[in-house]
């Protein structure tokens, strides 16, 4: 054993390696991404790792690996679980031989997701047991426990951290590589009665799963993942308690220290719910406040337990207005709620009252200075000026094309959805010129069925592929268009243009968006074609390159019109003393501003910084 | 020793690396550390923070309002935004150099950095203002504000770590070709 300062996600990766995982796959998504990246960096030779094309494929690969007796880990964010739900729902009925851990990171807030969905519900829906860690150290231990559990009971198991657990760092104790479990899988053994899903098998296994999960409620009631921190004190004060799970449990632990040390129930396995442990906790209490994020899962389970066992304990939380219905909990919100519930003034360190501050800067996330997506959006905007259009966006950095002054994202739903929406608008409003924007990673992950559908069903729209040769938003992961794999191989790229032509898209043109004139002309030419046609804007992500030049303003020439700022909203440009000013710490020298400056005042210089 | 530190700034200013260096220096002295920071979409030019907690008996990496012993602010507006986290009598170290948001350039927000510094002077008893332009010129690079502020905090004693502790952390955490530049930044506001 040794100590390391690790992010929760890194701890999960090392825990999986310690548990002898052999296959790790997934699709990037905040806040889950670092798990797989850490496996790739720290893996022993026998471990296979890949970024799969999407979560559904990843789930199927992990499931197949578990069929052989190998331990497998599949990673995704909560939105990805929606994509992977088809194979997972069925895998639960088939069962596994090797341990299969499904790492799904939830995102209360949400901080970087479309929904605040709660994977604990998905656990109950799919009947897959779920471990819910509160700290990085616990996540490290739980992932190992989850593998044992998965194998012992023949079921996939969820490990479900949330953002603050996944992205929080702590100095934790981890095993040395020599201590990692090493085990050769038995291999796939033919048995169609086991591996081929038919209604008869599903009927039989459904019953077995329900019986097993009822049994697991008892097993988990005795597991330290679910435990009671005893209270201190007596009388009426000792008749109240707190119940919490995930990161909120740590907030509750610290709130107890500053209010009153009441009993605290920790729920580490929200499904199957440890009923007997809950009964033990509730039996001595009149009132319980539930502290959790996303859905009131613990709260509803405790109400259910009270009804089932005839307990009189009153349960408070989201449904009673004692806790917020949406968004993240914080140390402060939990402390305040606990103080009200316990009728105790919080001790020490109250924030001082301050007069309201001057107007604070508003900082919405923006496309980086020099981002080629800015140039692509601007080119389409210029090309289609004055026409009736719709610009359907998608999920990735380029969602930020919605910001003023670009204002080039009219819709955004989920990965790949822009293609479907564009087709619908085209059918209903044939006089509108429809565009669907999709990134290169998203193109492979979820756009292909949409293109096939559009071509075959005679839709008419322009597909714009924003190809920056990486999965940028989540931190630059490879995908089939990049030509490298997580195993370190350099391989043939899958060509976006060839794929499109193969499907039957006849007009496919590729252009560098940073060449503004050519880009605008290309969009005009392509958009005028009938049917499904495509523009591929290809220029690498600026965050991946060390730029050799940056822009500078010739203040003698600058006429102070601010067109460069009003048109493209680059964070590297501002006005100073009536003239444009370039921030050398941000500028990457893309030169887009120089191409639209009416006075020729912007020029590139060699970058020495 | 139990210490809560908030680092705040704008995405791209190097708060994450600064937090990593403090953690590594604390780890080297066998002090338990926890931290949490902004990751993901908000990093792209948004307000970012790191919470860093050192010492025994800590459960959560997050800091509550009024609990920070020290705030290292990389930007005046962000300093004001995070001020409610400072405990009564806590220390704030703030850089003078503003990062203008795109919204200000478009006329959508009236951000006036000098008003932020005025507000801080009025309401923070233990305030140290770091003249970033002068310090960065002395360090010889516009991109080492994080080390300048860390050096200032170490010199003042509020960090609970010395410049030598941080120098050790730089050696283990940062590629060698940047060491000299970072050492210079560390002492740009004075040795200790």
pLDDT digits (tens, 9 = 90+) for A507-519: 999 999 999 999 9
Q: Which residues of B touch A37 (CB under 8 A)?
A: none
Q: Which of B169, B185, B153 is nearest to B68 (CA)?
A: B153
Confidence of residue A116 (pLDDT cuts 50, 70, 90): very high
pLDDT at B192 over 60: no
Lowest mean pLDDT among A104-108, A387-391, A393-397, A583-587: A583-587
What ipTM was reported for this prediction?
A: 0.91
CA B107 to chain A, closest CA, distance in angstroms equals: 10
CB-CB under 8 Å, A365 with B41:
yes
| Alpha-carbon distance A497 to nearest alpha carbon in chain B (angstroms) | 29
Instruction: Indicate whether A233 pLDDT > 90.
Output: no
| Predicted pLDDT of residue A346 | 73
In angstroms, rounded to a whole number, what is the distance separating the alpha carbons of residues A258 and A456? 65
- To the nearest whole Å, the CA of A516 is away from the closest chain B CA by 22
User: CA of A405: which chain B residue's CA is closest?
Assistant: B106
| pLDDT band for position A347 (cuts 50, 70, 90) | low
Q: Which residues of A449-469 are buried (b: 16+ CB within 10 A; e: fewer)?
A: ebbeebbeeebbbbbbbbbbb
pLDDT value at residue A108? 97
Q: Under an 8 A CB cutoff, do A112 and B42 touch? A: yes
Q: Do B36 and A168 touch (CB under 8 A)?
A: yes
pLDDT band at A584 (very low <50, low <70, confident <90, very high): confident
Quick count: other Cβ atoms within 10 Å of Cβ A415?
24
pLDDT for the residue numbered A351: 61
Q: Which pLDDT value is given to residue A302?
A: 98
3-state DSSP assignment of residue A369: coil
Inter-chain CB proximity B142 and A355 less than 8 Å? no
CA distance to partner chain B, nearest, from residue A605 (Å): 17
- Give, in order, the Cα–Cα distances in Å from A401 to each of A398, A405, B13, B113, B139: 5, 9, 23, 28, 37
Q: Torsion over CA of B168, B173, B175 and B176, rounded to 10 degrees?
A: 10
Helices (H), A319-362: 331-342
SS3 B4: strand
Query: Is residue A262's pLDDT more than 60?
Result: yes
Q: Contacts of residue B32 in chain A, CB cutoff 8 Å?
A: 170-171
Residue A264 — very low, low, confident or very high, per pLDDT cuts 50/70/90?
Answer: very high
pTM (2 d.p.) = 0.95
Chain B residue closest in CA terms to A355:
B123
**Which helix or strand (DSSP H or E) is residue A121 part of?**
helix A119-126
Closest CA of chain A from B174, distance in Å: 16
SS3 A127: coil
Chain A CB contacts of B103 under 8 Å are 361-364
The shortest C-alpha distance from A162 to chain B (Å) reads 13
pLDDT bucket at A458, cuts 50 / 70 / 90: very high
| CB-based contact, A105 to chain B, within 8 Å | no
Provide mean pLDDT across the span A329-336. Answer: 95
Whole-number Å distance between alpha carbons of A161 and A78:
10
pLDDT higher than threshold 70 for residue A13? yes
Q: Do B110 and A359 touch (CB under 8 A)?
A: yes
- Between these two residues, A586 and B107, which has the higher pLDDT value? A586
Q: Is A182 on the interface with B (CB under 8 A)?
A: no
Distance from CA of A577 to the nearest CA of B (A): 12
- Which residue does chain A place closest to B142, by CA atoms? A585
- Span A182-199, pLDDT tens digits: 999 999 999 999 999 999
Q: Which residues of B touch A609 (CB under 8 A)?
A: 141-143
Closest residue of B to A248, CA-based?
Answer: B60
Q: Sheet containing A287-291: which strands, arranged edge to edge?
A: A227-229, A264-266, A240-244, A287-291, A314-316
Nearest CA in chain B to A334: B64
| Whether residue A608 has pLDDT greater than 80 | no
pLDDT tens profile A33-57: 999 999 999 999 999 999 999 999 9
Q: List chain A residues with CB under 8 Å of B65.
A: 332, 351
Average pLDDT over residues A373-377: 98
Q: What residues of chain A, 232 to 291, have a C-beta less than 8 Å from chain B?
A: 247, 250-251, 253-254
For chain A, what percent of residues have pLDDT higher than 90? 89
Residues of A in contact with B106 (CB under 8 A): 404-405, 565-566, 569
CB atoms B142 and A609 under 8 Å? yes
Provide the number of CB pairs (under 8 Å) joining chain A to chain B. Answer: 168
Q: Are B87 and B67 in contact (CB under 8 A)?
A: yes
Band (pLDDT 50/70/90 cuts) for residue A557 is very high
Residue A19 has pLDDT above 60, yes or no: yes
Cβ distance B46 to A5 less than 8 Å, yes or no, reads: no
Chain B hits for A135, CB-CB cut-off 8 Å, are 59
> Nearest residue of B to residue A333 by CA position?
B64
Among chain B residues, CA nearest to A349: B66
**pLDDT (0 to 100) of residue A349:** 53
- Report CB contact under 8 Å: A361, B104: yes
CA atoms within 13 A on the CB side of A326: 6
Q: List all residues of chain A from 562 to 591 with a beta carbon under 8 Å from chain B.
A: 565-566, 569-571, 573-575, 584-586
The structure tokens 């080629």 sit at A372
Q: Which residues contact B186 (CB under 8 A, 6 or more apart)?
A: B147, B148, B150, B151, B154, B163, B166, B167, B170
Q: What is the pLDDT of residues B111-160, one digit of tens each?
A: 899 999 999 999 999 999 999 888 888 888 878 899 999 999 999 888 98
Question: In the prediction, which pLDDT does A442 show?
Answer: 97
pLDDT classification of B41: cutoffs 50, 70, 90: low
User: Does residue A315 or residue B57 have the better pLDDT?
Assistant: A315
User: Average pLDDT in the B37-50 region?
Assistant: 77
Query: Per the structure block, which two tokens stand in for B126?
Result: 């233990």
For A503-552, write each residue's pLDDT tens digit.
999 999 999 999 999 999 999 999 999 999 999 999 999 988 877 889 99
pLDDT at A590 over 60: yes
Are B44 and A400 inside 8 Å of each other by CB? Answer: yes
Neighbouring-strand partners of residue B35: A169, B52
Query: Within a 10 A sphere around the Cβ of A575, how many other Cβ atoms?
Result: 18
Measured distance CA(A353)–CA(A177) in Å, rounded: 51
Interface of A with B in 459-518 (CB under 8 A): 473
Q: Which residues of A touch B10 (CB under 8 A)?
A: 363
Say which residues have a Cβ less than 8 Å from residue A379's Cβ, sequence separation at least 6. Answer: A513, A516, A519, A520, A522, A523, A537
Asked if pLDDT for residue B71 goes beyond 60, the answer is: yes
Residue of chain B with shortest Cα separation from A163: B39
Q: Distance between CA A542 and CA A435 in Å, rounded?
A: 25
Residue B109 with chain A: CB contacts under 8 Å: 359, 361-362
Predicted pLDDT at A460: 98
Name the closest residue on chain B to residue A578, using Cα atoms.
B105
Minimum-distance CB partner of A565 among B85, B106, B143: B106
Q: What is the pLDDT of residues A386-409, one digit of tens each?
A: 999 999 999 999 999 998 899 999
Report whether pLDDT(A117) > 90. Answer: yes
- Which of A164, A397, A573 minimises the CB distance to B61? A164
- To the nearest whole Å, the CA of A572 is away from the closest chain B CA by 8
Q: Distance (Å) from the C-alpha of residue B40 to the closest C-alpha of chain A?
A: 6
Per-chain mean pLDDT for chain A: 95
- Please give the pLDDT value at position B100: 82
Q: Which residues of A touch B64 (CB under 8 A)?
A: 254, 330-332, 335, 349
- Contact at CB, B62 and A251, closer than 8 angstroms: yes
Which chain A residue has the Cα nearest residue B36?
A168
d(CA A402, CA A399): 6
> Looking at residue B83, what is its pLDDT?
96
pLDDT of B42 strictly over 80: no
């Amino acid at each position: 054993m040794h100590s390391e300062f690790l992010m929760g996600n890194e701890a999960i990766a090392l825990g999986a390696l310690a548990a002898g995982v052999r296959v790790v796959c997934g699709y990037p998504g905040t806040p889950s991404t670092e798990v797989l990246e850490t496996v790739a960096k720290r893996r022993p030779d026998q471990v296979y790792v890949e970024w799969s094309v999407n979560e559904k494929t990843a789930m199927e690969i992990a499931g197949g690996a578990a069929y052989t007796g190998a331990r497998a880990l599949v990673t995704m964010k909560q939105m990805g679980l929606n994509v992977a739900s088809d194979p997972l729902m069925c895998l639960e009925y088939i069962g596994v031989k090797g341990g299969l851990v499904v790492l799904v990171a939830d995102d209360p807030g949400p901080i970087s997701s479309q929904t605040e969905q709660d994977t604990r519900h998905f656990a109950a829906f799919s009947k897959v047991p779920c471990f819910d860690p509160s700290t990085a150290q616990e996540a490290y231990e739980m992932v190992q426990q989850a593998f044992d559990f998965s194998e012992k009971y023949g079921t996939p198991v969820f490990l479900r951290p949330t953002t603050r657990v996944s992205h929080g760092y702590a100095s934790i104790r981890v095993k040395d590589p020599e201590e990692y479990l090493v085990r050769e899988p038995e291999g796939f053994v033919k048995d169609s009665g086991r591996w081929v899903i038919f209604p008869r098998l599903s009927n039989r296994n459904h019953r077995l799963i329900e019986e097993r999960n009822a049994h697991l409620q008892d097993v988990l009631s005795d597991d330290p993942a679910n435990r009671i921190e005893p209270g201190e004190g007596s009388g009426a004060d000792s008749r109240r308690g707190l119940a919490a799970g995930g990161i909120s449990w740590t907030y509750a632990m610290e709130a107890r220290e500053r209010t009153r040390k009441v009993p605290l129930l920790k729920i580490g396995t929200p499904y199957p719910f440890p009923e007997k442990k809950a009964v033990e906790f509730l039996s001595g209490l009149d009132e319980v406040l539930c502290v959790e994020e996303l859905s009131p899962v613990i709260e509803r389970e405790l109400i259910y337990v009270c009804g089932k066992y005839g307990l009189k304990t009153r349960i408070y939380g989201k449904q009673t207005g004692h806790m917020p219905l949406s968004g993240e909990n914080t140390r402060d919100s939990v402390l305040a709620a606990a103080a009200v519930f316990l009728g105790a003034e919080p001790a020490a360190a109250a924030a001082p009252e301050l007069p309201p501050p001057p107007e604070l800067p508003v900082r919405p996330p923006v496309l980086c200075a020099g981002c080629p997506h800015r140039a692509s959006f601007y080119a389409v905007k210029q090309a289609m000026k004055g026409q009736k259009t719709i610009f359907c966006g998608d999920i990735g950095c380029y969602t930020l094309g919605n910001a003023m002054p670009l204002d080039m994202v009219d819709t955004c739903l989920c990965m790949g959805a822009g293609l479907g929406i564009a087709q619908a608008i085209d059918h209903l409003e044939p006089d509108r010129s429809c565009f669907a924007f999709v990134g290169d990673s998203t193109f492979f992950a979820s756009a292909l069925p949409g293109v096939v559908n559009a071509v075959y069903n005679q839709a008419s729209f322009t597909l714009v592929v924003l190809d920056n040769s990486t999965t940028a938003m989540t931190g630059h992961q490879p995908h089939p268009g990049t030509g490298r794999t997580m195993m370190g191989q350099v391989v043939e790229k899958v060509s976006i243009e060839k794929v499109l032509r193969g499907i039957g898209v006849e007009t496919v043109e590729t252009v560098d968006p940073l060449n503004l004139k050519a880009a605008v002309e290309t969009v005009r030419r392509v958009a005028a074609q009938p049917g499904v046609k495509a523009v591929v804007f290809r220029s690498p992500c600026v965050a991946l390159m060390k730029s050799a030049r940056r822009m500078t303003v010739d203040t003698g020439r600058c006429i102070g019109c601010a067109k460069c700022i009003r048109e493209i909203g680059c964070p590297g440009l501002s006005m100073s003393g009536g003239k444009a000013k370039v921030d050398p710490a941000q500028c990457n020298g893309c030169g887009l501003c120089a191409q639209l400056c009416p006075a020729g005042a912007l020029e590139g210089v060699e970058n020495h910084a | 020793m139990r210490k809560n530190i908030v680092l705040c700034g704008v995405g791209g200013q190097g708060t994450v690396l600064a937090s990593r260096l403090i953690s590594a220096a604390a780890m080297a002295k066998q002090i338990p550390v926890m931290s949490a920071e902004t990751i993901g979409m908000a990093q792209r030019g948004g307000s970012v923070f790191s919470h860093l907690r050192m010492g025994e008996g800590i459960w959560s990496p997050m800091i509550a309002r009024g609990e920070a012993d020290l705030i290292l602010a990389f930007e005046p507006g962000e300093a004001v935004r995070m001020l409610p986290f400072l405990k009564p009598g806590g220390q704030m170290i703030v850089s003078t150099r503003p990062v203008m948001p795109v919204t200000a350039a478009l006329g959508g927000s009236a951000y006036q950095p000098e008003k932020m510094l005025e507000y801080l002077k009025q309401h923070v008893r233990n305030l140290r203002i770091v003249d970033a332009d002068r310090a960065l010129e002395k360090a010889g690079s516009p991109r080492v504000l994080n080390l300048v502020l860390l050096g200032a905090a170490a010199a003042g004693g509020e960090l609970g770590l010395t410049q030598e502790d941080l120098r050790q952390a730089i050696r283990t955490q940062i590629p060698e070709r940047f060491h000299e530049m970072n050492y210079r930044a560390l002492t740009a506001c004075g040795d200790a």
